[in-house]
Amino acid sequence: MVNYLAVDFEIIDSRQSEQLIALLSEYGFEGFEETECTLQAFILEENFVEDDFNTIIQLFSSLKYKKTVVENINWNQQWEESFEPVIVDNFVAIRAHFHKPIGTVLHEIIITPKMSFGTGHHATTHLVIQQMQAIDFKQKTVLDFGTGTGILAILAEKLGAGNVWAIDNDEWSITNAKENIAQNDCTKIYIEQHNTIPIFKKYDVILANINLNVITANLESIELVANSACTIIFSGFLKEDENTMKATIKSAGFQYISTHSKGNWIAIRAVK
């Protein structure tokens, strides 16, 4: 039986949660579940290194947490039982295969709820989906940078994209995204594992829902792969980062269009 280690953190604010996710991801943690006051992080028990974990914890003052061991099969069952459909306006519903169809929306996306980013519950995914309503995807080339479970790539195809390149640096996310892409009968999505954006193709639309540090580090690459008049949606950062992000994308050659918020999180729309 494969066991996972679950670490439950008491979270002071969304900034702390974002920082923890970014750091823990680099040390083998595979899944995260956020609420307003807690963050639950999961890692294979055999991959947990106490010294690495302590290195991260020491970066935060008075961070409270507890660790428990859970069996993988029981954890997945618990996840399925707690997974609720996500509905974004009357535009998109994200549900699992065991939910009944939701007939009040234009598009349904079916995913297998597992330990990965992008179940649709996070505010940033919600924000990007909302902004996708206003974009013409018909026959466009699309880059989904940090695809997670593949939700945004799947939606891009459903909205008429000519082809979609979905990349992520996490092997487990790639595997799960492939399952979800197949489950939604998508045939125009190409998914690959990359740490950075390959510079060999140009895109009409770029979806970058990751975090502030990764987006900032890859802005030069984003600019290089953006076609003229390319639309870009940046998300994965907080309201307090808005001015920094606006200045950063301007210096990279993009024109700021608008900011949209949900809770403490924001998405910024820009064009080249």
- Beta bridge mates, 32: 41
**3-class DSSP state of 166:** strand
Q: What is the DSSP string of 80-143?
A: HHH---EEETTTEEEE-TTSPP-TTSSEEEE----SSS-SS-SHHHHHHHHHHTTS--TT-EEE
240: confidence class by pLDDT, cuts 50, 70, 90: confident
Non-local CB neighbours of 103 within 8 Å, separated by 6+ positions: none
Beta-strand pair 203-209/226-238: parallel
**Residue 114: predicted pLDDT:** 63
Q: What percent of the chain has pLDDT over 90?
A: 61
Instruction: Take residue 126 and report the two structure tokens written for it.
Output: 């919600």
Q: Is the pLDDT of residue 4 over 70?
A: yes
191: confidence class by pLDDT, cuts 50, 70, 90: very high
> 63-67, 117-121, 159-163, 188-192: which has the minimum mean pLDDT?
117-121
Alpha-carbon distance values, 31 to 25, 42, 81, 118, 270 (Å) = 8, 5, 17, 10, 30
Angle of CA points 22, 242, 203, to nearest 5° = 75
Instruction: Take residue 43 and report the two structure tokens written for it.
Output: 């890692």
Residue listed under structure tokens 């003052």: 61
75: confidence class by pLDDT, cuts 50, 70, 90: low
76: confidence class by pLDDT, cuts 50, 70, 90: low
Mean pLDDT confidence for 83-96: 92
Closest CA to 122 of 24, 56, 35: 35
Q: Is the pLDDT of residue 242 over 60?
A: yes
Q: Is the pLDDT of residue 223 over 70?
A: yes
Mean pLDDT confidence for 4-15: 84
169: confidence class by pLDDT, cuts 50, 70, 90: confident
**Residue 128: predicted pLDDT:** 96
For residues 108 and 154, the answer to whether their CB atoms sit within 8 Å is no
For residues 206 and 227, the answer to whether their CB atoms sit within 8 Å is no
193: confidence class by pLDDT, cuts 50, 70, 90: very high
231: confidence class by pLDDT, cuts 50, 70, 90: very high
78: confidence class by pLDDT, cuts 50, 70, 90: low
Q: What is the per-residue pLDDT across 35-49, written as a single tens digit (0 to 9) for each?
A: 768 888 989 899 999
Distance CA 219, CA 215 (A): 6
* Separate counts of helices (H) and strands (E) for the chain: 9, 14
Distance CA 35, CA 32 (A): 10
Distance CA 239, CA 6 (A): 29
E-strand spans in 61-159?
A: 65-71, 86-88, 92-95, 107-110, 141-145
Q: Is the pLDDT of residue 266 over 90?
A: yes
Closest CA to 39 of 62, 61, 6: 6
Q: Is the pLDDT of residue 81 over 80?
A: no
Mean pLDDT score of the chain: 89
29: confidence class by pLDDT, cuts 50, 70, 90: confident
